[in-house]
A and B are shown apart, each in its own frame.
Chain A
Amino acid sequence: MAVSYQAVGWNAFKKRYDTIMASGIVAFLVSFVGAGSFLHPEMSLEILLMRGIGVSAFLLLHLILVIGPLARLDRRWLPLLYNRRHMGVTLFLLAFAHGVIATLTYHVGSDMNPILSVFTTDAGARMTAVPFQAFGFLALAILFVMASTSHDFWLANLTAPLWKTLHMSVYLAYGLLIAHVVFGVLQAERSPVYPLLVGLGILAVAGLHLLSGWRGRDLDRSPAFDEKSGYLAICRVDSLVENQPLGAIVNGERVAVLRYEGDKVSCVSGVCQHQNGPLAEGRFVSGCLTCPWHGYQYRPADGTSPAPFTERIPTFDVRIEAGMVWVRSTSNPAGTYTVPAAIDHVRGGRLNE
């Protein structure tokens, strides 16, 4: 969390994160180019570099895409998610380098404009003529937009929902890059290992997303609704684990119901104002509901970040009846204080039963 914009809000973990990422990329490039030069000494260096950088970008994109579902399936992956934006910017830089080398190698040196050449020199409906270059160019354009708007400045000014929607285009970029690889270099390479690895990558990305969605399917079930009071029955009081929020859907919105400080129950929006992170998967830490993605914090009673931070999220009125937690179906404006419902310990959380 930060109260003012900085180019990068460095901390010890981010530095280590980036060190590991940079070391991995350098190790991959050195081994790829080194082994390629040794095994195929006639191969043009620019092509070897172009391939090595392109493959490293493609692998990094897969890692970026699986971090989200992995972290939802197992909290031990959350540290990888914390600094994912640096991975995204690094991905763009690698993809850009790949594109520049490919353009200089294949498209510069004739009468035709190199960019025009990218779009016109391969076209057709046949497998051997599908325009793989244009797919790569369009994916690079998407990655550029994402990288250039990755900073919190853009997140705050575009608003989280719009920013999130914009950054979901990474899946479009992924599809374009799959086409770029399948209709491009896979048409030239003979080893079955390459298409096998691409297939495994697609399976991993799609499979992990489906699995994490399947695990969260209970969240999408509509709770019982009392028309007279306008409240929804969310869960039994005794099913709430202290300091661990429970996710639910209220009137189409994701909410986080939290039992904390022994006998209090509050409900706030389940969507973090920062990057729309899943607050229901967070924890109650230091008096605040804490987002699992980047550690943004909100007080459960008023949905407001502790000073000097200014983030606010909507709150929901809560009451406990017949051992059930009920949440009003309409939210209060962001930052509105609501009295936490109290659990009757004497009756084991079965107040008014």
Chain B
Amino acid sequence: MSEDPFFIGWEASPERQTSSWRISLWGSLVLCVMLGLLLAGLQTNPGKGIFAFGEIHRYRGLLISDPVPFLVSKESGGHVYLLVNPLKYGFSVDLAREHHLQQVSLQGSLIDDGRNGMIEVFPGSISNELGSGEVPRPALSSAGTHLQLRGEIVDSKCHLGVMNPGRFKPHRACAIQCIAGGIPPMLVVQTSNGALRHYLLVGPKGETINQTLLEFVAEPVSIRGTYRTIAGLHLLYADPNSIERL
């Protein structure tokens, strides 16, 4: 600010304003740095997932197409990876059915939140893998448990690591497009101790219900269904008619 009570910009003399210029410069720098630190530090924890974008590795194992496409890995002790395509697209249904229950080799980038793994499959990289020891077919848990869960519907790809945070209102548009594009929808449930549980959402008979879920994405909802597991994946065979906004 000027020492002159009436300031005229075009005649302002730099020599006369040296001290106020320095005070303004350093004052604004300190204020901006403090604001930046404060506002960045208060952000909600975005999640722990990683997306190894650009790092393409080969994975081998048994491909299962239903109820969601996944790979039971041969190399890492039967670790399970959900399969998706690049961008906002799910893994090709036709391709999954074509290779269902076959030993395959594919290339892709890892998405992992520490508990759930996913592979963004490099287009055209999948092929049948003959011989070299088969991976046994995992079994679906026979007796399902009926549950009513409260949580938020997200797309599994972003939430598991492609975007951190991949939840809540700002991410709603992205999640809608991802789920509309075939990426498996997931219900994120926060437990009383703050931990997150993830349930892949499919219809009562294991069918895809992505389009039905779109209007409920990124909102707090209640949903009923039958809980079952397969190869460590948590699935909710959900009744779309039971979904209620909270």
| Interface residues in chain A, defined as those with a beta carbon under 8 Å from any beta carbon in chain B | 1, 11-14, 16, 19-21, 23-25, 27-36, 39-40, 42-44, 47-48, 51-52, 55, 59, 75-80, 82-83, 105-107, 109-112, 117-118, 121-122, 126, 128-129, 132-133, 183-185, 187-191, 193-194, 282-283, 285, 290, 292, 294-295
- Known contacts: A31-B33, A44-B46, A105-B174. The answer to whether A126 contacts B7 by CB under 8 A is no
A107 pairs with B43, CB closer than 8 A: no
A109 pairs with B25, CB closer than 8 A: no
CB distance from B111 to the nearest CB of A (A): 12
Chain B's closest residue to A191 (CB) is B42
Most A CB within 10 A of own CB, among B5, B14, B42, B170: B170
- B123-147 residues at the A interface, CB under 8 angstroms: none
A44 pairs with B170, CB closer than 8 A: no
Inter-chain CA distance A121–B28, complex, in Å, is 39
Contacts of A11 in B (CB 8 A): 9-10, 12
Q: Taking the complex as formed, is B96 at the interface, i.e. its CB lies under 8 A from any CB of chain A?
A: no
Top 8 closest A-B pairs, CB basis?
Answer: A31-B36, A188-B168, A109-B87, A121-B173, A82-B9, A187-B169, A32-B36, A35-B40
- Known contacts: A82-B9, A183-B169. The answer to whether A24 contacts B29 by CB under 8 A is yes
Q: Taking the complex as formed, is B195 at the interface, i.e. its CB lies under 8 A from any CB of chain A?
A: no
Q: Taking the complex as formed, is B177 at the interface, i.e. its CB lies under 8 A from any CB of chain A?
A: yes
Contacts of A25 in B (CB 8 A): 32
Inter-chain CA distance A40–B43, complex, in Å, is 8
- Known contacts: A24-B29, A295-B11. The answer to whether A110 contacts B87 by CB under 8 A is yes
Question: Residues of B within 8 Å of A, CB-based: how many?
Answer: 62
Contacts of A33 in B (CB 8 A): 40
B245 pairs with A126, CB closer than 8 A: yes
B145-172 toward A: CB 8 Å interface, digit per residue (1/0)?
0000000000000000011110111111
Inter-chain CA distance A43–B165, complex, in Å, is 7
- B7-47 residues at the A interface, CB under 8 angstroms: 7-14, 17, 21, 24-25, 28-29, 31-47
Q: Taking the complex as formed, is B49 at the interface, i.e. its CB lies under 8 A from any CB of chain A?
A: yes
Contacts of B46 in A (CB 8 A): 40, 42-44, 47
Inter-chain CA distance A236–B218, complex, in Å, is 67
CB distance from B41 to the nearest CB of A (A): 6
CB distance from B189 to the nearest CB of A (A): 17
A285 pairs with B36, CB closer than 8 A: no
Chain A's closest residue to B219 (CB) is A128
A52 pairs with B176, CB closer than 8 A: no
Contacts of B40 in A (CB 8 A): 31-36, 39, 48, 52
Contacts of B87 in A (CB 8 A): 109-110
5 A-B pairs within 8 Å (CB atoms) are namely A31-B40, A40-B46, A44-B162, A129-B172, A189-B44
A128 pairs with B43, CB closer than 8 A: no
| Interface residues in chain B, defined as those with a beta carbon under 8 Å from any beta carbon in chain A | 1-2, 5-14, 17, 21, 24-25, 28-29, 31-50, 87-89, 162-165, 167-174, 176-178, 180-181, 218-220, 245
Inter-chain CA distance A48–B44, complex, in Å, is 12
B178 pairs with A75, CB closer than 8 A: no
Inter-chain CA distance A307–B149, complex, in Å, is 78
Chain A's closest residue to B181 (CB) is A110
A285 pairs with B219, CB closer than 8 A: no
CB distance from A51 to the nearest CB of B (A): 8
B42 pairs with A193, CB closer than 8 A: yes
- Known contacts: A28-B32, A75-B5, A79-B2. The answer to whether A55 contacts B41 by CB under 8 A is no
Contacts of B43 in A (CB 8 A): 36, 39-40, 43, 51, 189, 191
Residue among A12, A75, A189 making CB contact with B42, cutoff 8 Å: A189
Residue among B49, B176, B181 making CB contact with A111, cutoff 8 Å: B181
Inter-chain CA distance A187–B168, complex, in Å, is 7
- Known contacts: A32-B40, A44-B46, A47-B46. The answer to whether A75 contacts B6 by CB under 8 A is yes
Inter-chain CA distance A132–B168, complex, in Å, is 13
Most B CB within 10 A of own CB, among A19, A25, A32: A32
A133 pairs with B173, CB closer than 8 A: yes
A190 pairs with B41, CB closer than 8 A: no
Residue among B12, B169, B180 making CB contact with A184, cutoff 8 Å: B169
- Known contacts: A39-B41, A105-B163, A128-B169. The answer to whether A79 contacts B174 by CB under 8 A is no
Contacts of A29 in B (CB 8 A): 36
B173 pairs with A117, CB closer than 8 A: yes
Inter-chain CA distance A189–B7, complex, in Å, is 43
Contacts of A23 in B (CB 8 A): 25, 28-29
Chain A's closest residue to B12 (CB) is A13
